[in-house]
Amino acid sequence: MIEILRNIAAFVVLLGILITAHEFGHFYIARRCGVKVLRFSVGFGKALWRRVGQDGTEYVIGMIPLGGYVKMLDERVEDVPADQVDQAFNRKSVWARIAIVAAGPIANFIFAIIALYFMYLLGLPAVKPVLQSVNPNSPAAVLNVTQPQQITAVSGQSVRNWEEVNLALVSHIGEESLSLTLTPVAELIAPDSDATAVGKTVQLDIRRWKFNPEKESPISTLGLIPYRPNLVPELAVVNKGSAAEAAGLKVGDVISSINGEEFTDWTRFVELIKASPNQTIPLSVMRDGQSLSLSITPQGRLNDNGVTEGFIGVAPKLPEWPENMKIDLQYGPVEAVSMAADKTWQLVVVSTKMIGKLFTGDVSVKSLSGPISIAQGAGSSADIGLVYFLGFLALISVNLGIINLLPLPVLDGGHLLYYFIEVITRKPVSERIQEIGFRFGAALLLVMMSIALFNDFARL
C-alpha cells in the first residue's frame, strides 16, 4: 500500500511539472504574440486553487491531474468585445498561431534539457559497459570476446554506460545490422590522458533479432553478457516466511555447499535451487566461524514460461565494483549544457524511431505504456534518488513533446497540420473538415490510450 501511494505521489508530481512546462510554452508565446490568455489551468475538473493575476489571467489547479490547458480569447469560441478583437487568437497571423501551438512541445524539449542539466551537475553514478563474454548462439557471437572489453560506440554513437548502450540498441530494432566498437579493458586510456584508445568495430547481422521488451533486455537478447563482479556466498537478505527462513538460514550466513556440491558461484547456486522445487536438499553454511548442516525445501512457483521453479527467498551480499569499472557522469556548469542538449537529442531520435516502428510493425503495440507504468517508473526512480528522477522526467518530457507533435487533430500536431495547409493554400481549412478530423483523431487517441492501459494492467 505504501508503495502504491508513493508511486501515485511521484506520478502526480511528475505530471504536474511536465504539464506546467508544456502549458507555459503555449502561455508565454501567446502573450508575446499579443493574445489575451483567459485561463492557465494545470489539471481538470473542480478547482483546488485559483487566483486572478494582475494580467487578468485566471490561474487554476484542477482536481484531476491528467492534463491542462491554456484558454485564449477566441471569436470561434465566444463573443469578444470590440475593443479586444485584436487580442483574439483567431485574428493573429498563421505564423503566430503556429508559434503558439508549437511552443508547448518545444517547452517539453527545453525542460528535458534543463532536467538533464541538473542531473549532470549533480552527477550520475554508473558502470562502464564492459563485456565479460557473448552468447555463442546469438547475433553477438561474431564479436568473439575472449577477454573483458568495453563497448565504446554503437553504430558510431559514443556510449559511456549500459543505459546508453541499451538506448542505442533499442533504436535499431527492425533493422538489418548494427556495429559495435570494442576496446580491451587493459588498453583503456585514463580520462586525463591525451592519448586515445584504439578499438575494433564489428558489424552484427540483426535481421533475426527479436525480443519482447516487456520481459527481455535488448542487451541479453543480442547475446551480450556484461561483466559483473562475482557474487559472494554471504547472505544479505532472508525474506520472512520464505523457505530459507523455515530452514533456519540467517543474514550473514556464508554458503559453503548445496546438495553435496561445493559452492563455486552464485549462478550455479541459483540453478540448483531452481531445479529443485518442493524437494528437500542438504545445505552447509558457515556461521560465526562454525559449520552448520541444514536442509532446505525450495518453494515452487511458475516462471514466465509456465514452468515450476524452486525459490527460497534470499539475496547475496553485493560485492564492490572495481574502481576502473565505475564512472561518474558529472560535469561543470558549462559542459553540462552541451551534454544535456546532446542527451535530449538522442532521446528525441530514439523515441521518434520507436513511434515510427510501432506503425511499421517492427515494435509491438504491447510495448505501449500508460499512466500506471509511468507511475511505477516515477516511483521507482524517485526512490533510487533525485538524479534518476530527473533522468526519468527528461525521458517522459521528450515523449510528451513528440506525442503532442503527432498529426492527430486533437493534439498540437494536428493543429499545426491545419495551419501549414493554410500556409500552402492561403485559406483556413474548413470547419467541417476540421470537425471530421477532430473526431477521427479523438477516436484514434482513445484506441491508443486503451491499448496502453490494457498493457499496464497486463503487467501488474
Residues assigned a catalytic role: 23
For 212-221, the CB contacts below 8 A with 24+ separation are 212/364, 212/366, 213/170, 213/363, 213/364, 213/366, 213/367, 214/366, 214/367, 214/455, 214/459, 215/304, 217/166, 218/166, 218/169, 218/170, 218/173, 219/162, 219/165, 219/166, 219/169, 221/138
Residue whose entry in the numeric block shows the C-alpha cell 485564449: 72
* DSSP state for residue 328 in the 8-state scheme: E
Residues 73, 90: Cα–Cα separation, whole Å: 8
**310 near 281, Cβ under 8 Å?**
no
Backbone angles phi, psi at 357, to 5 degrees: -75, -15
Alpha helices (runs of H) in 242-370, residue ranges in sequence order: 243-247, 266-274, 335-360
Q: Residue 280: is it exposed, middle or buried by C-beta count within 10 angstroms (0-12/13-18/19+)?
A: exposed
Element housing 450 (H / E):
helix 431-459
- Across 407-425, b (16+ Cβ under 10 Å) vs e yields ebbbbbbbbbbbbeeeeee
Residue whose entry in the numeric block shows the C-alpha cell 568473439: 144
Q: Cell numbers of 149, please?
A: 572489453
Residues 186, 190: Cα–Cα separation, whole Å: 11
For 297, the 3-state DSSP assignment is coil
Residue 56 Rama label (left phi>0; alpha psi -120 to 50; beta) = left
Cross-strand pairs, 134: 224
Cβ count within 10 A of residue 169: 25
Residues 36, 15: Cα–Cα separation, whole Å: 26
Q: What is the DSSP string of 246-273?
A: HHT--TT-EEEEETTEE---HHHHHHHH
- Residue 30 Cα distances to 104, 207, 237, 427, 429, angstroms: 11, 48, 56, 22, 21
Q: Cell numbers of 180, please?
A: 559495435
Q: Cell numbers of 365, please?
A: 503495440
